Amino acid sequence: MMYLWLVLLLLTAFWGFIPNSPGWLVMQNIAISTLIVLKSTTLRDYCRSVHSPLTTSDILSWYLLWPGLNARAFFQKPAVKPAPIRLRVWMFAVTKTLLGLCCLTWLAPYIVTNHVIIGGWVALAGLILMIHFGVFHLLALTWQSLGREVRPIMQSPLCATSISDFWSHRWNLAFRDFANLFVMRPMTRRWNGTVAMWGCFAFSGLVHELAISVPARAGYGWPLAYFMLQALGVSCERTSWGQRIGMRDRWTGWLFAFLIIGPPSLLLFHPPFISTVILPLVGISVTHP
């Protein structure tokens, strides 16, 4: 993992210290660079475990047409022909894409006129809804119809019944797959599951520092603090007291997860990031009186 961090830090330093570079461009470059590094690491690990070489089209598709990080699911084709995907599933993905687009083009600009930061959060929510929930879902359905055993990276996160359920099974499964393979498993073998869990959240916090605080040039430490809070919440879930009151299931688990994941996310997507990166990225101009 040390070489991985070295590459990420060098790329971040390169993009982050270009004179007069706008924050949204720095974020975009860091995000793309990080994804390429993570994909390359995953691809290298997969190629070590298989004997048949990958085609050029497969490799290009992996980098350009799929956001996931589970190389085995993407490259290994099932022997059985996949069942046709129902029209309502396609329409659900299209609907999420359009709703996100509406947030970006109509709702967020309207709210910004009255409250800049709230409007920026709406714009960010629209961006995530359009891309992560919509476009990436459409990509997953397309690959599934072509016989790839991929899954959408978002799996109904609002239905999570615990913090563990949210981060392990529902939110950004691409990053989950990578962290599980290259952070969780090695740390579990060397220490134990608890240390590995804290290590995964620390890794996620540091990656988000690179992608959020560095482009904003402010808010350092807030994303890391957010993910350390998530680790603390998971630790609470695992205590005998947490299990007794249902922190990992039922409505009590859902409520606890909402309180730990939802409102504190303002630490993750802090105001400097919203005002200097997100609003310029989506083309919303702010006029000051």
Amino acid making up residue 218: A
Give mean pLDDT, residues 120-127: 96
* Cβ 93 vs Cβ 141: under 8 Å: yes
Distance of CA 28 to the CA centre of its chain: 14
Give mean pLDDT, residues 27-52: 88
* Cβ 27 vs Cβ 281: under 8 Å: yes
Percentage helix, strand, coil for the chain under 3-state DSSP, each rounded to 5? 75, 0, 25
Give mean pLDDT, residues 94-110: 96
Question: What long-range pairs does 84-89 form, CB within 8 A, spacing at least 24?
Answer: 84/145, 85/141, 85/144, 85/145, 89/141
Residue 143: other Cβ atoms inside 10 A: 20
Amino acid making up residue 265: S
pLDDT tens sequence across 214-259: 999 999 999 999 999 999 999 999 988 888 877 777 889 999 999 9
- Going by pLDDT thresholds of 50, 70 and 90, the confidence category of residue 3 is low
Report the chain's mean pLDDT, rounded to a whole number: 90
- Secondary structure class of 20 (helix, strand, coil): coil
Report the pLDDT value the prediction gives residue 245, as an integer from 0 to 100: 79
Report the pLDDT value the prediction gives residue 203, as an integer from 0 to 100: 92
Decide if pLDDT at 52 tops 90: no
d(CA 94, CA 96): 5
d(CA 26, CA 14): 9
pLDDT tens sequence across 184-211: 999 999 999 999 999 999 999 999 998 9
Q: Within 13 Å and on the Cβ side, how many CA atoms surround 210? A: 24
d(CA 289, CA 284): 16
- Going by pLDDT thresholds of 50, 70 and 90, the confidence category of residue 121 is very high
Distance of CA 237 to the CA centre of its chain: 22
Q: What letter does residue 162 receive in the DSSP assignment?
A: S
> H or E stretch including 197?
helix 193-208
Dihedral angle computed from the Cα positions of residues 229, 234, 238 and 241, in that order, rounded to the nearest 10 degrees: 50
Give mean pLDDT, residues 265-285: 93
